Structure 1
């Protein structure tokens, strides 16, 4: 994320969001954790990981459960060293009958960065909604989550 350090401009904040989006979509927990300081503090719903080791553990468990994970993040607001993000991601879990139950998670994140552009605090609030396969935005035929059509009312 070279060059993506505070103080942020619209362009650098937006780029930081998309770099984070692409990194999370790799589902490589160890690689994702490097974007956070060694003592980074998180709030992710009702969980509070601290530090890279706990972040790796959290993300590994998350992606074991959330199969087919595809994420889109959009810049919501920014200041010198903070960025707020709105996001949507879709995932499925195996239902008891052997089918896939799809979910869409909606939420907001609040990020704070150190002078080197490494995140030192991340707060996430999110809600999950069951969706049918036909309601998915990030289907396999959508090669880039940034091109998926998201209805305007979903930006609330």
Structure 2
């Protein structure tokens, strides 16, 4: 294969879009840094709108109203929403860590943390991104897992297969 061919000439656009659409956000951003072709393709509203709907299905009404008005790019919306969720997650993490400063957490505070996840409409990817990490106290992992099992109704086996601590 001639290495002088660009990605655009060697891969049909529909196949390239299918490849980019199947990636996780981090991998999509990495692919976008490979060339101008991939940068433009990986920044397409089609891909980022799909990522928003997949990550925040419980925010469907907000996304639909966003869809029906002139708006910023979907990638910008995704980043803004991610940062908003990160701030909300930090609030819950700080609350739990404050409770743990006294070496235990009362049941009421534990349940408050779980209910707070529900009140801010966290989806599984948000919980996975912010709570199900080996760097966290095991109690934060448990709160995230409890929320996924009870409030999101996800099957335990599926969650445990997705989460792999290193």
TM-score w.r.t. length of structure 2: 0.31
Rg larger in structure: 2
TM-score by length of 1: 0.32
Indicate the structure with greater strand content: 1
Higher RCO (C-alpha under 8 Å, 6+ residues apart): 1
- Identify, as 1 or 2, the structure richer in helix: 2
